[in-house]
A and B are shown apart, each in its own frame.
Chain A
C-alpha cells in the first residue's frame, strides 16, 4: 500500500479547551525537530495532525513519532477525493494486501454530515465492493482480523487500516522544567523519561568524585543523556558536579552508618540550588520505596528535610522488574548496567541505617561547615549537552 499521509491523534491535550492552542503549538515544535531532514510537510490543527509524506516512507516517519509525547496514536493513511469510485478502489487496494482466509470489516466515521451517503450506506458499499472483487476474504464485524476505516471529512476521505499506539502524555515544554538526579543506574533515566512524557522539560545533575570515580562512569552518564535526548528529540543539559571534596569530608566527619544519609542531604541541597539557577521547579529522582537503605520512608523523610522543593519520584511504587522493562524499552538499560563505579558505590558504608535518626544526622552535620564546600562544588560544575562536544571536536573529520 502506498501511503501519502500520516494521521496523528492527540493525547490528553484533547481535554484542554481554551489553552489547547498552546499545547498544539508545543507539539508542532517537537514534530518539526523530530522530522527535520525528512521529506515531509507537517500540518497541525486543533483536533489532529497530518504529515504529508512527500517522499518519505510512512513507517520510517512513524518510528520517529512513536517517541514524541502528546501523540496518542498514528495511522498511515491514504487521502482520496470524496467520490464513491475512489473510495471503492482504495478499500479494495487495502483488502488485496490481507492474507487468505482473513476476515475484515469496514468502519466509517462520517464527520462531514453533508456527504450524500449515510454511514451505513458507505459501509455497505465498500464491504460489498471488496467482497465482490476478492475471493480470499470474509466479513466479521465483531472480531475482524483487519479493519479498514474510512473517515469522511470536509476536505477529503482518509482511509487506513493500521493504528500504531504512541507515547501518549503531553507535548514536551508544556509542563515546566524539572531537575533530574542522574546516577547512571537503571532507575534514574527511566524516572526522567517518565516525567518528560507528561510534558516536563528536564535538565540533569550528576555527581562525580574523581579520581575515585572513573571517567568511564561520567562518560556512561553522558551516554545516557545522549540516549534520552535522542529518544525525546530534546537536548538535555547535564550538569556534572565535582563532589570529591565533599565526599571525603563526609567520609571523615560523619559516622559510617549515617554518612549515606548526609551524603544524600548534601546532594539534594546542591540540586535545589542548581534547580533555582536553571529555572527548574522540582527535583526528580529514581527512588523506589524500600529498594535500598536510602529509599525507606524514614530515610526519604530525613533526606527530604533539607528542601521545600517538590521531589518527584515517579518510580516510587513500581516493581523492580517493571522498571527494568521500561529501561529496556527506552533503550537505556544496556548502558545503565555497564559496570563503572560511581560515587555511591565506592563510598558505600558497610551497614547504612535504614531508619536514620534525623536528630543525630543534624548533630553531626552541625560540626562541619558544608556551606563553602557546596559553593565551591556549584562553581565547579561543567555542563554537557548531546552533540555539543563531538560537533565542535570532530565536525571537520566527519
Chain B
C-alpha cells in the first residue's frame, strides 16, 4: 500500500509504540492514586508534560492532557467564551478552520456571539490586514490554525500575535494540529495551543492543550478533576508518554525529512502540472499537495486510486463523508469545478521514493481512465 493520507493520521513511530506498550505493562496505574505505584505513574506523567512544554519552547506554560485536538479546541474555546462573555461578543476566525473549531463557534453564535470571518489570500493564508481592520473593543477571541489541513498553507501566527499586542482582552487560540514536526513556530505569547498525537506519529487518543494561563480554561465535562480540574477522566498515560516521545522524535527529525519531502513535492508537481485540466494549489509545507482533476469528482479519483492501492483523500477526513463543499478552497476563491475535483495528497517521514513514483504513475493512469469527463 502507498499511503498518502498523513494529514488524516500517521503511522506511530516504532519507538512510540515501544513506550506505549511498556507503559501499559509497567505503569498501568491511575496517576491520581495515592499509593506508590500511582505516584510513580504521576511522576512519569509530569516528566512527559515537562518534555512536551520544553520541546515547544514553552516551559512556563501549563499543559492539559486531552484525548486529541478536537477536545483541546473545545476546552479552550468553550471555557474561554464562557469566561469572557461579559467583556465582549465578537469572535474573529479564519475561514480555513477545522470543523472542531467552526462548529463550536456556530453553536455559540446561537447564544449571542458574533462570528466574523477573517479573509483568506489566494495563497490560502489569513489576511492579517483584514484581521487588523476587524479588531475592535468587542473582540474577545481570535482563532487561527497554524498550518492548514487542506492545502498545507503556513499561517502567519507570529504576525497575528504581534497585531494583537494592543488588544490584551483578546484570547488568541492556535490549532497547531497540522504544524507539529513540520514548521517551527514561536508560540510564546499565544494564549492556547492545541495538538494531537496521532498527527505526528504518536498513538490515537492523546492530545494536549497548552495554556499561557491555566485559569483561561474551564471544564466542559465534569468528574474527578484529574488534569488541573479542567479535564476529568483517568489520564491515558501510555498514550500521553508515547506522545511526548513522538513529539521529541518528530521535532528532532524535522530537518532530515524536509529536503526529501521538498523533492517529492517538486516531483509530483512537475509531472502533473503539465497535464491539461489539472490544477495544483500553491504549497505551504512540502507534506501536503492539493490537486484537482477539473471536471471530475474528487471522490471518484480517490476511489480509483484506492483500487490501485494508493491512499489519498478528498478533504479533511473529519468532513470527507459529508457532502459539504470544501471551506478552505472556497475561501481562497477557487472555482467550484476545481474544488469538486480536488484531492489531498499528504506525505510524512515514512513516504518513500518508490511511493511517490507509484503515486505519479497511478495519478496518470487515472487521468487517462477518466479523461473523457475532464475539462
Binding site for B on A (CB under 8 A): 57, 59-60, 63, 215-216, 219, 230, 331, 389-390, 393-394, 396-398
**B19 in contact (CB, < 8 A):** yes
| Minimum CB–CB distance for A22 against chain B, Å | 30
CB atoms of A331 and B60 under 8 A apart: yes
CB atoms of B43 and A398 under 8 A apart: no
CB atoms of B48 and A398 under 8 A apart: yes
Residue of B nearest to A97 (CB): B162
CB atoms of B60 and A219 under 8 A apart: no
In the bound complex, how far is the Cα of B370 from the Cα of A209, in angstroms?
78
CB atoms of B39 and A394 under 8 A apart: no
CB atoms of A57 and B47 under 8 A apart: no
Supply 6 A–B pairs (Cβ within 8 Å), ascending by A: A394-B47, A396-B22, A397-B19, A397-B44, A398-B48, A398-B244
CB atoms of A398 and B245 under 8 A apart: yes
In the bound complex, how far is the Cα of B252 from the Cα of A380, in angstroms?
42
CB within 8 Å: A-B pair count: 38
**B320 in contact (CB, < 8 A):** no
CB atoms of B248 and A63 under 8 A apart: no
| Minimum CB–CB distance for B213 against chain A, Å | 11
CB atoms of B43 and A63 under 8 A apart: no
In the bound complex, how far is the Cα of B161 from the Cα of A59, in angstroms?
14
CB atoms of A397 and B245 under 8 A apart: yes
CB atoms of B44 and A60 under 8 A apart: no
- Category for how many chain B residues contact A: 20 to 34
CB atoms of B188 and A60 under 8 A apart: yes
Residue of B nearest to A391 (CB): B47
In the bound complex, how far is the Cα of B42 from the Cα of A389, in angstroms?
13
| Minimum CB–CB distance for A93 against chain B, Å | 16
Q: What's the dominant secondary structure at chain B's contact region?
A: helix
Residue of A nearest to B23 (CB): A397
**Which B residues are in CB contact (< 8 Å) with A216?**
34
**Which B residues are in CB contact (< 8 Å) with A396?**
22
**B109 in contact (CB, < 8 A):** no
CB atoms of B241 and A397 under 8 A apart: yes
**B51 in contact (CB, < 8 A):** yes
**Which A residues are in CB contact (< 8 Å) with B51?**
398
User: A398 and B39 in contact (CB under 8 A), knowing A60-B57, A60-B188?
Assistant: no
**Which A residues are in CB contact (< 8 Å) with B36?**
215
**Which B residues are in CB contact (< 8 Å) with A215?**
36, 39
**Which A residues are in CB contact (< 8 Å) with B371?**
none
Q: A390-B47, A393-B44, A394-B44 are in contact. List 9 more A-B contacts (CB 8 A).
A: A59-B188, A215-B39, A216-B34, A219-B39, A230-B59, A390-B44, A394-B43, A397-B23, A397-B44
In the bound complex, how far is the Cα of B60 from the Cα of A376, in angstroms?
40
**Which A residues are in CB contact (< 8 Å) with B121?**
none
| Minimum CB–CB distance for A39 against chain B, Å | 11
Of the candidates B22, B43, B60, B248, which one forms a contact with A393 in the assembled complex, judged by CB atoms under 8 Å apart? B43
